[in-house]
């Protein structure tokens, strides 16, 4: 599987939504075409440079996880376009008919869902923005944590710490009360339980591969009234992965995700508002390497970029 020229943006018929990474097209009859580009965001801002092959890595990795977790929760995937058997009954019209050659491995036919406007974040370790908040106030999403915790320390239990879903600009952390007010108490509790269930299954798989799933975020929606896992799942875009051998409380383990990019950005004179600085070649290459390593470690498969 070889990746061609980087894809920063697509332009096909029936554009429904252009997100930070994915361009989504309406195929009709309740189906959508989701194309994962090579765009990358950090601090919720899209970078000016693509990461070559990133969209292929994301699509193949998310498909792996959706399939692995289908016994835990239904998902919206019909099939990756390169899987001719999975999409053989999908009419080749509109954006699907126009899909450029070489885009098949980064494009997925999905069922259209009524999206729930809340990011379902689950944290297993104290890292990233959660560590920053803890240092400042001893809390995570406003909830108190034990005194004396260290960076990257495992939390006493899995914690559901949702946020707003921002298409542009920064997501905002939600307290339990704010989350319940946003989606309703009953749905909030359902999302919390399901998110922790999915996270636990993924954590077990990652551990078997010598990896730690430190945190991630899920998105859910309703398809024909059924709560369904949507968008993407457990990729380096949405998750923090560490090697078990690298983890030690009080340190920052090398991350198999976009943390390398974030760390570089923190050294720049940038206020975390558009436009983001141009990425040097070594930052692009090292970010690509980490994404590819995460895919290969967690799936046990190889991917040529």
Domain at 155, CATH number? 3.30.470.20
What is the domain extent for residue 177?
115-299
Confidence at residue 172, expressed as pLDDT on a 0 to 100 scale: 86
Confidence at residue 44, expressed as pLDDT on a 0 to 100 scale: 87
CATH assignment at residue 77:
3.30.200.20
| pLDDT of 9 above 70 | yes
Q: Judge if 273 and 181 occupy the same domain.
A: yes
**Number of folded domains that form the chain:** 2
Confidence at residue 4, expressed as pLDDT on a 0 to 100 scale: 60
Confidence at residue 5, expressed as pLDDT on a 0 to 100 scale: 86
pTM of this structure: 0.94
Q: Judge if 94 and 30 occupy the same domain.
A: yes
Of 113, 129, 155, which marks where a domain is finished?
113
Q: Judge if 223 and 178 occupy the same domain.
A: yes
| Mean pLDDT score, 87-97 | 97
| Mean pLDDT score, 141-147 | 93
Of 59, 90, 113, which marks where a domain is finished?
113
| pLDDT of 71 above 70 | yes
The pLDDT tens digits of the residues spanning 56-68 come to 999 999 999 999 9
Q: How confident is the model at residue 169 (pLDDT cuts 50, 70, 90)?
A: low
Residue 4 lies inside a defined structural domain of this protein: no
| pLDDT of 96 above 70 | yes
Of 91, 113, 135, which marks where a domain is finished?
113
More confident of the two residues 108 and 259:
108
Q: Which long-range contacts does 48-51 make (Cβ < 8 Å, 24+ apart)? A: 48/275, 48/276, 48/277, 48/278, 48/279, 49/278, 49/279, 49/284, 50/6, 50/7, 50/8, 51/6, 51/284, 51/287, 51/288, 51/291
More confident of the two residues 93 and 171:
93
Q: Judge if 133 and 60 occupy the same domain.
A: no
Q: How confident is the model at residue 153 (pLDDT cuts 50, 70, 90)?
A: very high
Confidence at residue 304, expressed as pLDDT on a 0 to 100 scale: 81
Confidence at residue 1, expressed as pLDDT on a 0 to 100 scale: 41
Confidence at residue 3, expressed as pLDDT on a 0 to 100 scale: 46
Residue 56 lies inside a defined structural domain of this protein: yes
Q: How confident is the model at residue 8 (pLDDT cuts 50, 70, 90)?
A: very high
Confidence at residue 2, expressed as pLDDT on a 0 to 100 scale: 44
| Mean pLDDT score, 111-118 | 97
Averaged confidence pLDDT in the chain: 95
Q: Judge if 185 and 55 occupy the same domain.
A: no
Q: Judge if 105 and 246 occupy the same domain.
A: no
């Amino acid at each position: 599987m070889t990746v061609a020229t980087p894809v920063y943006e697509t332009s096909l018929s029936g554009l429904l939504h252009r997100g930070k990474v994915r361009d989504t097209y309406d195929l009709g009859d309740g189906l959508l075409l989701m194309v994962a580009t090579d765009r990358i965001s950090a601090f919720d801002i899209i970078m000016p440079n693509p990461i070559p092959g990133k969209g292929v890595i994301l699509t193949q990795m998310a498909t792996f996880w959706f399939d692995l977790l289908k016994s835990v929760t239904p998902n919206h995937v019909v099939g990756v376009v390169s899987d001719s058997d999975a999409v053989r009954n999908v009419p080749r019209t509109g954006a699907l008919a126009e899909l450029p050659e070489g885009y098949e491995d980064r494009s997925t036919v999905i069922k259209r869902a009524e999206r729930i406007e809340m990011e379902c974040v689950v944290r297993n370790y104290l890292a990233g923005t959660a560590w920053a908040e803890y240092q400042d106030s001893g809390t995570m999403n406003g909830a108190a944590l034990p005194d004396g915790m260290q960076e990257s320390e495992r939390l006493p239990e899995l914690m559901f710490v949702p946020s707003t879903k921002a298409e542009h600009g920064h997501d905002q952390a939600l307290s339990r009360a704010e989350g319940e007010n946003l989606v309703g108490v009953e749905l909030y509790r359902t999302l919390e339980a399901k998110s922790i269930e999915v996270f636990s299954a993924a954590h077990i798989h990652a551990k078997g591969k010598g990896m730690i799933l430190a945190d991630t975020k899920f998105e859910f929606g309703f398809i024909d009234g059924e709560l369904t896992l949507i968008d993407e799942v457990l990729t380096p875009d949405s998750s923090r992965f560490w090697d078990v051998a690298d983890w030690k409380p009080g340190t920052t383990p090398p991350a198999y995700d976009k943390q390398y990019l974030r760390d570089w950005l923190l050294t720049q004179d940038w206020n975390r508002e558009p436009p983001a600085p141009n990425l040097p070649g070594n930052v692009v290459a090292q970010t690509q390497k980490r994404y590819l390593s995460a895919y290969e470690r967690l799936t046990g498969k190889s991917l040529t970029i």
